[in-house]
Structure 1
Amino acid sequence: MKGIFRARLEQFGPSMSVLFFALAVASCQLKQKEVFNIDDQLDYCAAQAERTIALTPDDGKSIPRNIAPNSTKWRFVEYQDWTSGFWPGVLWYVYEHTQEPEWKARAQQFSEYLRPLSVSPANDHDLGFQVHNSFGHGYRLTGNEDYKKVVLMTSDTLETLYNPNVGTILSWPRPVPNMEWPQHNTIMDNMINLEMLFWAAKNGDNKGLYDLAVSHADKTMANHFRDDYTSYHVVVYDTLTGEKIKGVTHQGYSDESMWARGQAWAIYGYTMVYRETGDEKYLDFAQKVTNVYLDRLPEDMITYWDFNAPNIPDEPRDASAAAVVASALIELAGHTKDPELSRRYITSAQAMLEELSTAAYQSRERNSAFLLHSTGHKPNRSEIDYSIIYADYYYIEALLRLKAYYNNEEAITSVLALNESES
């Protein structure tokens, strides 16, 4: 075919031949630019995960958490760390994409590291992050009844942190700076752990977990948000009376600032609560906390670590918040009744994923994580501009959700290319 095309071009002489070739190349480049290939990004995740497997000690306890800037070495944690469920969750998602049995075996191996959490006293609220993301995905993808039992037992353990006087789950059952221990503290991140409780209420005998999750969502809605729908990271309550003592933004720039990942947890959390309850008030609220986030994003759609940080644009980004929000937006787009709003959510999610999939944010040859430029706890000078495992988890989750949203299309029209052509 190439020979026939070249012969026909030669009929027009060398100058026209050069022009035709130039136009052909330009056309191919335009087509490539206008397509976002989801499977290419998922294959990239699988390849990076393969590199991480090779770097991870096979000692029954080492779980990847982060990589420092300009490094290739993972910092490993054990199962008690709040991030321990994200790596097995990544492996389950890679298995879901590839359907290759070796990924299933790896996901099972690292999930097993977390089994003690189901039979240990609750040390903090993060059991959903840890066990729902590991054994929960394992049950979803394999139907292994033993995995189901682990998730149900862990949900009962998480229930022990619920304070009926307050109506929420205690996040940190120990002294934490500025939390006025032994008063009751609840952090926005805890919204994500409600998903495990909703699941357990539907799939186990403890139906009261549903009401517990709803109470937590309602109390958080009433006390964690300012009039403009931006969120506090933590609310401290009186343990005995349940009265709100104060709102603080523990990991943000200031108590009154919009910490990016905290707002991301709110977007993701209330979208999920609407899915699990069908109550329209949660859909309305999810849209309100989402819109204030989208309205204040920079042009490239990737948030700085805090929307009120004083030195923007010379502040660290947080790819993890962008990945969380992208994943949530894809689900929210499917729930939203307003077509214009739904379109805004899905195009925003895709734009975030496209930007995260560029050389500016993908780790590629620089290390074996998926993404660069996440910020963990800047006020504590911790994990600033790092590769962090939960960014990778929500990135691959969002890619899988986007593919499902477009009915398993591998490649879709590029939102970023369309925006560039319109400007």
Structure 2
Amino acid sequence: MKNICLASVLLILAFLSTGCATHTKKLSKVREDIVRKSEAQYSELNSIAYSSIADKNYMPRTVAEEQLRLVSSYDWTSGFYPGALWYLYQLTQDEKWKDRALLYTQKLDTIQYWEGNHDVGFIMECSYGNALKEKLSKDFEAVIVQTAKSLSARFRPNAGIIQSWNASKKWNCPVIIDNMMNLELLFHATRISGDSTYYNIAVSHADTTLKNHFREDNSSFHVLNYDTTTGKVLGKYTHQGYADNSAWARGQAWGLYGFTLCYRETKDTKYLEQALRIADFIKNNPELPDDAVPYWDYNVPKTGETPRDASAAAITASALYELSTYVTKRKSDYLDFANKIMLSLSSPKYFAEAGSNKGFLLKHSVGSLPHKVEVDVPLNYADYYFLEALYRSKNLN
């Protein structure tokens, strides 16, 4: 009887391992084809964008009314296009992508002095941060440190957080879950400069977010409003989600990615534990479709017309690849989930046909449905995290 039970257990484990290996094998087979298709798409996108490079609006962000929408360097998404170019270079080692990435990265130089937006972390880490992986000019290190100094001006010590948007009639001191992503810049600046000020601010923000931003089921609120004198939370809301108490899909992905990178930089297990809890919330969510590409909000009533959000899926996949390197137990579960997402995003349902989508890679992302902005369109950050996930999956293999 014992032998029969043992044999049954081994058979189940073998079956599960085969399933995980199958997803990995499938992605390995199609990865180079995806890279070639991505190069072709971005060659077209680059040709359209390059014609406008002399204009202040030069970074490709999305498609609006069948036209490529370009934004200035002060748009929160401006770092994703050069970042995507850096990942194309890392995936191909073709110098043309490096040259293009460097050209667009240096267009963001003045952002290092901007104290008016918390998303300077997104902008500069995706561009200059990726450039530094290629061991380019030491001047780029100074840019990262100066940007961290600018971002630190938004730190509110009594509340222990970095303020996201500026104060308004609606908000006293709003902090969004997205802000976890900007902490990577602060950690990077500490490694470069040796100044622990940036590290301490990042840890304070992460700790306060961990304390206040999550519900019992480990889903995240989108916006918290703080009193900067007392540190009291004045209210918990959404801005881009379905409802104040709903789980906005991209917000959950930001949280997963943010706490994963915090563990990488600090090795504090409380961040790893939170990342794992968020990963499980996403993976086991009964509202997650079979192809693992979520609707724009997990709690929105679903119809045949409810939009998916490919950007949330791409961010999640990239985070899962890194998260899988920090665990042994259930490592294959997270890898399998990430590979499943990437296979879905690489399918014709989400990956654009050659020559379409104005050169963007992914279709079907959502910026802010409540504001009727960028609904069911390509988005530059969806492409960025898709290429990052592709690069990470290749390195893992």
Whether TM exceeds 0.5 here: the answer is yes
Aligned-pair CA distance for 1:143: 2.9
Contact 1:270 1:283 (C-alpha < 8 Å) held by counterparts: yes
Contact 1:376 1:382 (C-alpha < 8 Å) held by counterparts: yes
Structure 1 equivalent of residue 183 of structure 2: 194
In the alignment, structure 1 residue 245 sits paired with structure 2 residue 239: no
Distance, in Å, in 2 between the alignment partners of 1:239 and 1:312 is 41
In the alignment, structure 1 residue 211 sits paired with structure 2 residue 206: no
Contact 1:68 1:387 (C-alpha < 8 Å) held by counterparts: no
Structure 2 equivalent of residue 386 of structure 1: 377
Structure 2 equivalent of residue 254 of structure 1: 243
Structure 1 equivalent of residue 154 of structure 2: 161
Q: Deviations over 1:116-138 (max 9, x none)?
A: 11123x11110111011111111
Structure 1 residue runs of 5 or longer lacking an equivalent are: 1-31, 407-423
Label 1:112 to 1:33 Cα distance change in 2 as closer, same or farther (>3 A): closer
Q: Of 97, 100, 104, which aligns to 1:106?
A: 100
Q: In the alignment, residue 337 of structure 1 is paired with which amino acid?
A: T
In the alignment, structure 1 residue 59 sits paired with structure 2 residue 50: no
Distance, in Å, in 2 between the alignment partners of 1:299 and 1:253 is 21
Distance, in Å, in 2 between the alignment partners of 1:197 and 1:322 is 25
Contact 1:323 1:394 (C-alpha < 8 Å) held by counterparts: yes
Distance, in Å, in 2 between the alignment partners of 1:225 and 1:143 is 39
Aligned-pair CA distance for 1:34: 8.5
Contact 1:125 1:193 (C-alpha < 8 Å) held by counterparts: yes
In the alignment, structure 1 residue 138 sits paired with structure 2 residue 134: no
Structure 2 equivalent of residue 374 of structure 1: 365
Distance, in Å, in 1 between the alignment partners of 2:178 and 2:375 is 19
Label 1:233 to 1:112 Cα distance change in 2 as closer, same or farther (>3 A): same
Contact 1:85 1:111 (C-alpha < 8 Å) held by counterparts: yes
Distance, in Å, in 1 between the alignment partners of 2:377 and 2:346 is 16
Contact 2:27 2:343 (C-alpha < 8 Å) held by counterparts: no
Q: Of 309, 322, 336, which aligns to 1:331?
A: 322
Q: Of 77, 87, 106, which aligns to 1:93?
A: 87
TM-score between both structures, scaled by the size of structure 1: 0.84
Q: Of 296, 307, 330, which aligns to 2:298?
A: 307
Aligned-pair CA distance for 1:346: 0.4
Distance, in Å, in 1 between the alignment partners of 2:258 and 2:234 is 23
Structure 2 equivalent of residue 358 of structure 1: 347
Q: Of 104, 120, 124, which aligns to 2:117?
A: 124
Percent sequence identity over matched residues?
Answer: 40
Distance, in Å, in 2 between the alignment partners of 1:142 and 1:312 is 49
Contact 1:185 1:236 (C-alpha < 8 Å) held by counterparts: yes
Structure 2 equivalent of residue 9 of structure 1: none
Distance, in Å, in 2 between the alignment partners of 1:47 and 1:132 is 25
Match of 2:164, SS state, is: coil
Q: In the alignment, residue 133 of structure 1 is paired with which amino acid?
A: C
Contact 1:36 1:354 (C-alpha < 8 Å) held by counterparts: no
Contact 2:167 2:174 (C-alpha < 8 Å) held by counterparts: no
Distance, in Å, in 2 between the alignment partners of 1:205 and 1:354 is 41
Q: Of 247, 264, 286, which aligns to 2:275?
A: 286
TM-score between both structures, scaled by the size of structure 2: 0.89
Structure 2 equivalent of residue 11 of structure 1: none
Structure 2 equivalent of residue 414 of structure 1: none
Structure 2 equivalent of residue 41 of structure 1: 34
Structure 2 residue runs of 5 or longer lacking an equivalent are: 1-24
Once the two structures are overlaid, the 10-residue window that deviates more, 98-107 or 349-358, is 98-107
Distance, in Å, in 2 between the alignment partners of 1:268 and 1:311 is 26
Aligned-pair CA distance for 1:33: 6.9
Contact 1:64 1:75 (C-alpha < 8 Å) held by counterparts: yes
Q: In the alignment, residue 378 of structure 2 is paired with which amino acid?
A: S
Match of 2:378, SS state, is: strand
Distance, in Å, in 2 between the alignment partners of 1:354 and 1:36 is 11
Distance, in Å, in 2 between the alignment partners of 1:153 and 1:109 is 20
**1:67-82 correspondence runs (5 A):** 67-68=63-64, 71=66, 73-82=67-76
Structure 1 equivalent of residue 6 of structure 2: none
Q: Deviations over 1:61-96 (max 9, x none)?
A: 300000147x3x310000000000000101111111
Aligned-pair CA distance for 1:174: 4.0
Q: In the alignment, residue 105 of structure 2 is paired with which amino acid?
A: S
